[in-house]
Amino acid sequence: MIWMNVNKISIVEDKRGVRNMEKINVLDKVTDNLDKLLEYFAIAMLGISVLLAFSNVIMRYAFGISHEILAEISIYTIVYGVFFYMGPLIRQNEHIKMSALHEILSEKVLVYIDLLINIVLVLTFTFLIYGGYNWSFSLIGMNIKTLSGGMLLFVPALAILIGMIIGLLYSLLEIIKGIKTISDR
C-alpha cells in the first residue's frame, strides 16, 4: 500500500490502483445512515399525523367527542417530519431545483453555483437558528401554551430550531464536498 496526502484528505492506493478517499467516504457513510434515520422519522411523523387525524374524525362523528390537542399534535408531527427531513433534501439537491441552469451551464460552473447556494443556505440557517433559539426559549419564559391549552408552544417551536440545525449541518457538509470537488479539478 502506498499512502499519500492530497489536500489534507488521505488517499489510499492499493496494489490494484484503487483509490479510496477515506474521510469523504466515512462522511458519506455516516450521512447515508443519518439520511435513512431522518427518512424513517419523517415517515413515522406522517403516519402518526394521519392516525391522529383519522382517530379524531372517528371520535368526533361516531362518539361526539373531539379533542383539539389531537388536531394540534397531528399538525405538529407533520412540521417535525418536514423540518427534520430538510437535511437529506439538501444533500440530494432537492432544496432548490434549477433544471434549466443544469441544462445550459457546464459542470464546472454548476459546482460553483451549488457552492454559492450552500453558502447562502448556511447564512440563512444561521439567522433562523438565532431567531428560532430566541423565540423558542422566550416561549418557555412566558409559559405560552398552544390554542388547546394542553401543550407548551415551545414544543412545536422547537421543530424550527432543530430543523434549521440539521439544515445547517447538511449545508456545511455540502460546502466541504464542493470545496473538495473544486480543489480536485
Residues 6 or more apart from 174 whose CB is under 8 A from it?
90, 91, 114, 118
Residue 9 has pLDDT above 50, yes or no: no
pTM of the model: 0.75
Residue 95 has pLDDT above 80, yes or no: no
> Could you report the per-residue pLDDT of 118-148, keeping only the tens digit for each?
999 999 999 999 999 999 999 999 998 888 8
Compute the C-alpha angle 67/52/70, nearest 5°.
25
- Domain positions in the chain are 2-184
| Percent of the residues in the chain that have a pLDDT greater than 90, as a whole number | 44
The mean pLDDT of 2-18, rounded to a whole number, is: 41
> Could you report the per-residue pLDDT of 24-75, keeping only the tens digit for each?
778 888 889 999 999 999 999 999 999 999 999 999 999 988 888 888 999 9
10 — phi, psi (to 5°)?
A: -75, 135
Count, residues in the chain:
185
> What is the model's pLDDT at position 127?
96
- The residues that bridge with 2 in the sheet, in sequence order, are 13
> What is the model's pLDDT at position 161?
93
> What is the model's pLDDT at position 49?
94
